[in-house]
Every structure is written in structure tokens, then in C-alpha cells.
A and B are shown apart, each in its own frame.
Chain A
Amino acid sequence: MIRFDNIGLRYGSGPEVLSRVNFTLKPGSFHFLTGASGAGKSSLLRLMYLGLRPTSGTITLFGRDVATLKRADLPALRRQMGVVFQDFRLLDHLSALDNVALPLRMAGTAEAEIREHVVELLEWVGLGAHLEAKPPTLSGGQQQRVAIARSVINRPRLLLADEPTGNVDDSIGMRLLYLFEELNKLGTTVMIATHNEGLISRFPHPRLHLDRGTLTVIPAEASVAAAMTAVASGLPAVLAGSLTGGGWPP
């Protein structure tokens, strides 16, 4: 799915933000990307969604060497990805509905189909009553869910989320992580950057840990897996709550 070989990255002539980074994401895998603030998490994600080119090394994305891609090749590759930005990056002048519809409109989906899918998804994340609301009138948690809905609306093969639990308390954070798990079960490869160690220790997924630009792969631990089974027993109820829209705080 995605493979980093000896990736190095500098901004301009600044210090090396990433050095000799190696990892592979298999299709259908779920990874956390951890590290202190400033460790290079956002930069690494930016490399993955082709918002940035590495200073050295080779990135292989969907079987293609990124260095050989032409500008005209990018849209097709990017449409297979969903990105949740740390600051949401919603378009303030568009309704929640239109924000979530963007990736479909770009892909040229028929308008009737767009509406049906978008309404369904927004209802699923508990925003059925806010379809026409503009982002500035929504709470942080609601905006976050619009951003997440937008990232998954086109059923991406690869989902990248940058601190999606960064601005919300742990209970909302948990629910959002369950949402990504659901997606992962449907076949999407997921990578979530976060520095919230407490939250992710409850999920049995391998971690890519960044420390001052150097990456270490930490396999899912048995202890985490054990903790997970305890949490997982409560999972259907939480998800059922989100499905009816009642489980989400305003």
C-alpha cells in the first residue's frame, strides 16, 4: 500500500525533520503515529498525501514511485485517500453537506447520488440536524465530525488523520477512534497521528513512533490487546448510539 525507504526531509536549508525513515503499511492495516509535538508527525503525513516531496529516499504509494509521478497523475491517486487535518480545514462558506460532498463532486459523482450518500453519512456521525449548518456555527466536536465525514465519504483506500482527537476530550476521542476502526474493518488502511498516549494504549494496533525525526516501529503488544478486549465488549453499544445520532455530544 505504502512504503517509505530511507526518507529524509528538510524544509529549505533547515535541520533534518525526518531522517532515514523506513516503514511499510500493508493493505487493511491500522497504525498509530506517535511522538512529541514537533517530532515530525504532520510532516510525515504530508509526505504521504503528496503535499510535500522528500529531500531523499523513495516513497512508493499504491505501487508507484512518487518521484516519477507527474502533476496530472496526482488527482487520481489523491482521490483514493482521505485526509483529516489537525485544524479540520473545512470551507467556512459551505454548508456541512457541501463540505462533505466535495470529494464526490471532484470525482464527478451524480448530484442525486451525492446528496443521498452525504446525508446518510452525516446522519451516521450524528449531524443529521445540521446538514445546512456552516462550520463556524458548529462546535469543535461537530466540525471534527464533518471533517471526518469528508475524509471517508469516497470510501478511501488509505485514511490519514492528523491528531483527530487533539481538540476534544477523551470520551469524544474514543468514539472517533471507534469510527476509524469501523472503517478499517471495511478494508481501509488507516494511519492516525496523535500524541495522546493514554487513548491509544487501549487499542491493539502497531505504532510508528517518531523521536526527533527518527522512526521506530512498535508492534502491538499483548497487554494492549488484552486491554482492548475489555473495551471492545462495550463497542457495539457506543456505535449503535452513534448510528442513531444519540451518542454524540452536541
Chain B
Amino acid sequence: MMFRHRFDLPLVEDATGRFLIWIMAVMVYLGIVALAGALVLAGMASRWENGLTGRLTVQISPQPDTPGRGSDPEMVAPLVQRTEVALALLRATPGVLRAEPVTAATTHKLLEPWLGTALLDDLPLPALIDVQVAPGSDPEVPALADRLARSVAGAHLDNHAAWLDDLRRLARTVQLVALAVVVLVGTAALVAVVFAVRTGLAIHSPVVELLHIMGASDRYVARQFQAHVVGLALRGGMVGLALGLATLGLLDRATGEAAAGMLPVMALPPPQWLALPAVPLVAAALAAVTARWTVLRVLAALP
């Protein structure tokens, strides 16, 4: 047995405490999955931010029909020519480090899996320019976007800001939901601890009285319950940890197989894996504090 502790109270023989193992297992399981999710999302958001901010994409549509500009497809310069104009403009802009067209071959390769080769050949594809700006020059982006749109028909500058904002909002929402779940389950688990301890005190009141008569302090009695609850919580926590890690492992493999290369950011960096075993420890510590507080409060109310 991992916890060979000699209890003065025959708590181990109670069935009341046994369901604590299960509620603790559920709490730790959800805590682990939620924590892993929150960590993965936080990591993903920061990687997207670092990877994409400083990068811009200019997209030039083959057949611009911007209303209000009175443009007629016949009167617009060919795509290749407009791309050259846009490239020149970009390269002349201070703060732009690099501006390279994405070759048609690359575009085709990106789209092929979705559209197939037959369709792609006939499809009028936009020209793409990959732009790298000096870090910190983001404030000038709106001006650049405006200038591009006026100089080159059909040109559109995408700085991914809106997309990143959405991602950040998503990450934050998921984190809040995870936190809410953990707080709810945690509260339920701690209420269960209070209930189990109160039941234990009631069932064993003759023994508790005996211990007091023999000179036990309230804290001595509290330690008995505390040690018992920690034992149950850790046992439940191990079950929750094992199930949680198994779930994460399965998810990791599933994402790895289904979208190799596309979702490499889903993986949790190694140092953060170390945070997961802390979940059952934190849960056990909270359970211990709750048990202690409950016992002391109940006993203090005795004459």
C-alpha cells in the first residue's frame, strides 16, 4: 500500500470516503485536460502571433470588379503587370524587408488537394505576394494598404490582424470555459470533502470523544481526517492523472496522424508537461485544507 498510515479513527473502513476517490479522479481528469488545453492554446496563440505579425500577404485578384471605381475588366492591366507594380511599390516602402511573389506553382500545390489539377488549370487564381516588414512597423500597415489599393486595381493587403484577433478571442474563451469547468468540478469535490468529513465525524463521534478525553487536541483529530482525505485524494488523483495523460496521448496521436504538419502547434512543449502532475497534488492539498477546516469548525462548535 502506498499510504501505510495508522489512523486512530477507523476511517478506512468507511464507505462514505470511497466516493471521494472517484470525485477526485474526475476533478483531476478534467483539471488535466483543461490545463493541457489552456496551455496548448496559449502556446498556439503566441506562436501564431510571433509567426504572423511582421508577415503580410498581398493578394491581387485576376478580375477586380470593385464597385464605385467604374472598373471594367477589359480596361484593367493584366495580372502579371499589376503584380510588378505592386512589387515595386512594396519594395520602395520603408520598413519592408522583403517582398516576393508566391509562384503559380506554389499556389497550385497549396490548392491542389482541395480542387484537383483539372479545375485548377481553368481557374483564375489571384497573385500572392509574401511581404516581410521590419518588426514594430505595424502602425504603417493601414497607410500601405490604402496606397496599394489605390495604385493597383484588385490589390488587397492582409495583415492577419483580424484573424489573429479571432484566434486570441477563441483561445481566451476556451480558457475561460476550461477554468469554469475546473472551478465547478473543484467546488463540487470540495463540498464532497466537507460532506465526507462531517459524516465521518458523526459516525465516529464516540471515538472522537474518546480521543479528546485521552488528551487529543482538535488539531490532532483534524490531522487524522486530513491524512485520510489526502490519501483518498491522491489515489483518486493518480487515476485522474493516468486517464488524463492517456486522453492527451490519444489526442496528440490523432492530430499527428490526421494533420501531420498542419497542426504541429498542438503539441505541448516538454516543460509544460511537467505542470500536469501538479494537478493531483494541488487537488490533494486543497482537499487537505478543506478537511482540516471542516474538522476544526465542527469541533470548535462542541462544548
Binding site for B on A (CB under 8 A): 49-51, 53, 71-72, 74-76, 78-79, 81, 83, 89, 91-94, 98, 102-103, 105-107, 150
Whether A91 and B300, one on each chain, are in contact in the complex, defined by CB atoms closer than 8 angstroms, is: no
Q: A76–B209 Cα gap in the complex (Å)?
A: 15
Whether B10 and A92, one on each chain, are in contact in the complex, defined by CB atoms closer than 8 angstroms, is: yes
Task: Report, nearest first, the 5 A-B pairs whose CB atoms are least far apart.
Answer: A79-B215, A78-B215, A93-B10, A75-B217, A75-B215
Whether A102 and B214, one on each chain, are in contact in the complex, defined by CB atoms closer than 8 angstroms, is: yes
Known contacts A71-B300, A91-B207, A106-B220: does B8 contact A83 (CB below 8 Å)? Answer: no
B218 at the interface (CB under 8 A from A): yes
Query: Please, what's the 1-or-0 string for B1-39, where 1 marks a CB less than 8 Å from any CB in chain A?
Result: 000001110101100000000000000000000000000
Q: For B302, list chain A residues within 8 Å (CB).
A: 71
Whether B6 and A94, one on each chain, are in contact in the complex, defined by CB atoms closer than 8 angstroms, is: yes
Q: A150–B214 Cα gap in the complex (Å)?
A: 9
Whether A78 and B212, one on each chain, are in contact in the complex, defined by CB atoms closer than 8 angstroms, is: yes
B210 at the interface (CB under 8 A from A): yes
Whether B8 and A91, one on each chain, are in contact in the complex, defined by CB atoms closer than 8 angstroms, is: yes
Q: Which of B8, B300, B303 contacts A102 (CB 8 A)?
A: B8
B289 at the interface (CB under 8 A from A): no
Whether A98 and B211, one on each chain, are in contact in the complex, defined by CB atoms closer than 8 angstroms, is: no
Q: For A81, list chain B residues within 8 Å (CB).
A: 215
Q: For B207, list chain A residues within 8 Å (CB).
A: 91
Q: For B246, list chain A residues within 8 Å (CB).
A: none
Q: A49–B6 Cα gap in the complex (Å)?
A: 26
Q: For B214, list chain A residues within 8 Å (CB).
A: 78-79, 83, 102-103, 106, 150
Query: Please, what's the 1-or-0 string for B201-243, where 1 marks a CB less than 8 Å from any CB in chain A?
Result: 0000011011111111110100000000000000000000000
How big is chain B's contact interface, by range?
20 to 34
Q: For A51, list chain B residues within 8 Å (CB).
A: 209, 213
Q: Which of B10, B215, B300 contacts A106 (CB 8 A)?
A: B215
Known contacts A53-B303, A71-B218, A106-B220: does B6 contact A98 (CB below 8 Å)? Answer: yes
* A75-B215, A76-B215, A103-B214 given; 8 more Cβ-contact pairs under 8 Å: A78-B212, A78-B215, A81-B215, A89-B210, A91-B210, A93-B12, A94-B8, A102-B214
Closest chain B residue to A52, Cβ basis = B303
Whether A91 and B215, one on each chain, are in contact in the complex, defined by CB atoms closer than 8 angstroms, is: no
A36 to chain B, nearest CB (A): 25
19 A-B residue pairs with CB within 8 Å: A49-B213, A71-B218, A75-B220, A79-B214, A79-B215, A89-B206, A91-B10, A91-B207, A92-B10, A93-B7, A93-B13, A94-B6, A102-B211, A102-B214, A103-B214, A103-B215, A105-B8, A106-B211, A106-B214
A148 to chain B, nearest CB (A): 14
Closest chain A residue to B299, Cβ basis = A71
A115 to chain B, nearest CB (A): 12
Q: For A72, list chain B residues within 8 Å (CB).
A: 217
Q: For A91, list chain B residues within 8 Å (CB).
A: 8, 10, 207, 210
Q: A103–B207 Cα gap in the complex (Å)?
A: 14
Q: A81–B214 Cα gap in the complex (Å)?
A: 8
Q: A72–B300 Cα gap in the complex (Å)?
A: 9
Q: A41–B10 Cα gap in the complex (Å)?
A: 30
Q: Which interface residue of B209, B212, B302, B303 has the most chain A CB atoms within 10 A?
A: B212
Closest chain A residue to B214, Cβ basis = A103
